[in-house]
């Protein structure tokens, strides 16, 4: 049961991890495209396993900060189980990701995991002078790994995809690392569709990440799939996310925009 709840609450992170596949694309963006997101945006999602409510997740863009004299976006994701699921398997997780405001590469990635009895305090530091990323969990540090010139952490990759206009981009490529490996990935636009979620009805684009390198329950599931519906406008806000795996379907439905 705990694995099902964990999968349900972290559909958003799984989707981000699907982007861990890239050769670095080096796109140029117009001013209008760079307005897809900005500090102050806060998106709240209801997480369900089939028809069963399991918790909620919040994606937020905090004020611009500076790391190593570089101005950065600060993306934050929080996920938690509801009071009913807390009695079975409590989840209180938080991810903080920092990417340069040109959205070319990650500068810092932090993940605090509180799932049942599991505790992790993960930090991935990027050294762009040597073009490496280094993973640390509490006081255990791994050796640095080589990364591509334009590489993102899993959460920043989620926002990076929003910079692309569907009409101009059938396939999106980006390099992503979790500090332990750096892999290549693709996201493709499928079709336009009208979608209703608790927050309202939206004209959207359906996009599908390539999940061949995801592993876990996806690797073991026949016809596994992850789908994301983003608004068909300059914001490309994700309003519905769905994964299909052997144990059922998981949903993240937009309930609030602030």
Residue from 53, 1, 10, 4 nearest 214 by CA: 10
Least confident of 113-117, 177-181, 209-213: 209-213
Give the pLDDT of residue 21: 36
Question: Would you place residue 6 in the very low, low, confident or very high pLDDT band (cuts 50, 70, 90)?
Answer: low
Domain ranges for the chain: 2-257
Residue 33 has pLDDT above 50, yes or no: no
Q: How far is CA 149 from CA 23, 127, 230, in A?
A: 10, 11, 28
Q: CB-based contacts of 218: which residues, under 8 Å, 6+ apart?
A: 14, 211, 224, 226, 243, 245
Residue 113 has pLDDT above 50, yes or no: yes
Question: Would you place residue 188 in the very low, low, confident or very high pLDDT band (cuts 50, 70, 90)?
Answer: confident
Residue 185 has pLDDT above 50, yes or no: yes
How much is the average pLDDT of 215-229?
A: 63
Q: CB-based contacts of 137: which residues, under 8 Å, 6+ apart?
A: 120, 121, 122, 123
Residue 152 has pLDDT above 90, yes or no: yes
Residue 148 has pLDDT above 70, yes or no: yes
Give the pLDDT of residue 14: 46
Structure tokens at 179: 């500090």
The residue count for the chain:
258
Q: Check residues 224 and 23 and name the one with the higher pLDDT.
A: 224
Question: Would you place residue 243 in the very low, low, confident or very high pLDDT band (cuts 50, 70, 90)?
Answer: confident
Residue 31 has pLDDT above 60, yes or no: no
Question: Would you place residue 246 in the very low, low, confident or very high pLDDT band (cuts 50, 70, 90)?
Answer: low
Give the pLDDT of residue 172: 81
Least confident of 1-5, 80-84, 226-230, 253-257: 1-5
Least confident of 56-60, 139-143, 167-171: 167-171
pTM: 0.84
Give the pLDDT of residue 218: 47
Residue 257 has pLDDT above 50, yes or no: yes
Question: Would you place residue 17 in the very low, low, confident or very high pLDDT band (cuts 50, 70, 90)?
Answer: very low
Question: Would you place residue 20 in the very low, low, confident or very high pLDDT band (cuts 50, 70, 90)?
Answer: very low
Q: How far is CA 237 from CA 37, 93, 162, in A?
A: 8, 22, 7
How much is the average pLDDT of 100-122?
A: 94
């Amino acid at each position: 049961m705990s694995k099902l709840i964990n999968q349900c609450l972290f559909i958003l992170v799984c989707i981000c991890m699907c982007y861990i596949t890239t050769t670095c694309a080096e796109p140029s963006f117009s001013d209008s495209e760079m307005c897809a997101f900005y500090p102050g945006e806060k998106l709240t999602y209801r997480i369900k396993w089939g028809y069963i409510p399991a918790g909620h997740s919040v994606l937020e863009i905090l004020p611009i900060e500076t790391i190593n004299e570089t101005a950065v976006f600060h993306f934050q994701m929080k996920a938690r189980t509801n009071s009913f699921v807390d009695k079975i398997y409590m989840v209180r997780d938080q991810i903080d990701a920092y990417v340069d405001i040109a959205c070319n590469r990650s500068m810092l990635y932090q993940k605090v995991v509180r799932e049942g009895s599991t505790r992790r305090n993960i930090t991935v530091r990027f050294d762009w002078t040597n073009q490496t990323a280094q993973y640390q969990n509490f006081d255990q540090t791994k050796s640095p790994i080589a990364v591509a010139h334009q590489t993102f952490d899993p959460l920043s990759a989620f926002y990076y995809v929003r910079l692309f206009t569907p009409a101009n981009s059938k396939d999106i490529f980006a390099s992503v690392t979790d500090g332990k490996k750096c892999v290549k990935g693709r996201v493709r636009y499928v079709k336009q569709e009208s979608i209703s979620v608790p927050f309202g009805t939206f004209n959207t684009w359906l996009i599908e990440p390539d999940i061949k390198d995801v592993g876990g329950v996806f690797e073991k599931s026949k016809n596994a799939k992850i789908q994301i519906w983003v608004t068909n406008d300059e914001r490309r806000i994700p309003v519905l996310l769905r994964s299909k795996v052997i144990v059922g379907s998981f949903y993240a439905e937009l309930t609030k925009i602030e």
